[in-house]
Amino acid sequence: MVMVAILSAGCVSLPESLPREAPLIQMKVRADEGDIHSKAILASVYRKGELGVKKDFETALKYLSPAVKAKDALAIFELGQMCEYGETAKRDKEKAESLYTVALPGLKRLAEEGDARSQYAMGILYENGIGGVARNQALAARWFLRAARRGYGGAQFRAGLYYEKGTGVERDQRKALFYYNNAAGQGNALALYSLGQIHLDGTGVGGVDVRRALVYFLRAEQAGLPSAELQARTQLMLGMLYVSARNDKEAAEWLFRVQKSGDPTATALMKDFLSDSNVQISMKVNNPNLQSYLSSLEKGQPLAVPSADSGVK
């Protein structure tokens, strides 16, 4: 979804939308036909949980193994990422660095040929100063932008983040929104989360829009955020927004998910929120059923919805 009114402002012309990656089924057909690089791309998709699939390291490795054996540079980079973040075994940054260094020449060649995920990988190398390259945020931004324009949603999110923060590029909220919206259109959870935060803050979007923020946070949570901590924080945000909307049932269900997540940071923030004296005073008037709903959920009991309960559906 592109915010045309926002994008039309300013002196720099932007296209209405960017290309998208090939459909997942098309990638699978190519991989099944024996195309090695398609296997590497599918491994990347499953490793990150993109294009509508859940994060699945086992399936990622199934596609990755033959591609690594064939010395596909993107596959070697993805294996390095799995080693660095301990996705299938104990973290091994030394092995990851070795893999990045091996991958670099081939990655650069693929990136120069226009392969979007290889361009993104080059951005990651320069962003972190790994694989034998010096840390260079301007070069990272350049590679992320090239990948974004080739249709990769992960790079579109990264480009949005760089423009929002002014990292490696001049800060530009209009361009940040453009790239976030394109990434969100491909279901990128981080872009959806970022748009939720922007609409909650109101900067560059014509003011605070709680309802739209809530929709973006819902979509981000459903898309699956990359870490359990961020997923729990998003659930907390949803619970708090539904408290504000006076929808006690939805608020209780989201806050209960935070409890079940076991995430210490989100759980502590939730306790602070519910114990705040001003919040408690407000809830007595506006959220009379919240505590009873939470109690029922903790006991495994079904929730009865009183006719007075209302809010954002």
Q: What is the mean pLDDT of residues 6-20?
A: 60
CA dihedral 224, 228, 233, 236 (to 10 degrees): 80
- CA within 13 Å, CB half, 274: 19
Q: What is the mean pLDDT of residues 256-283?
A: 94
In contact, 56 and 49? CB cutoff 8 Å? yes
Running DSSP on this structure, what letter comes out for residue 122? H
**Nearest partner of 128 among 152, 158, 148, 149, judged by Cα:** 158
In contact, 234 and 252? CB cutoff 8 Å? no
Give the pLDDT score at 3: 36
pLDDT band at 285 (very low <50, low <70, confident <90, very high): very high
Per-residue model confidence as pLDDT tens digits over 52-92: 999 999 999 999 999 999 999 999 999 999 999 999 899 99
pLDDT band at 16 (very low <50, low <70, confident <90, very high): confident
CA 208/CA 204 separation, integer angstroms: 10
Q: What is the mean pLDDT of the chain?
A: 92
Per-residue model confidence as pLDDT tens digits over 286-298: 999 999 999 999 9
pLDDT band at 303 (very low <50, low <70, confident <90, very high): confident
Backbone dihedral region of 167: left (phi > 0), alpha (psi from -120 to 50 degrees) or beta?
A: beta
Q: What is the mean pLDDT of residues 125-130?
A: 98
Per-residue model confidence as pLDDT tens digits over 167-207: 999 999 999 999 999 999 999 999 999 999 999 999 889 99
**Nearest partner of 98 among 77, 119, 72, judged by Cα:** 77
- CA within 13 Å, CB half, 45: 24
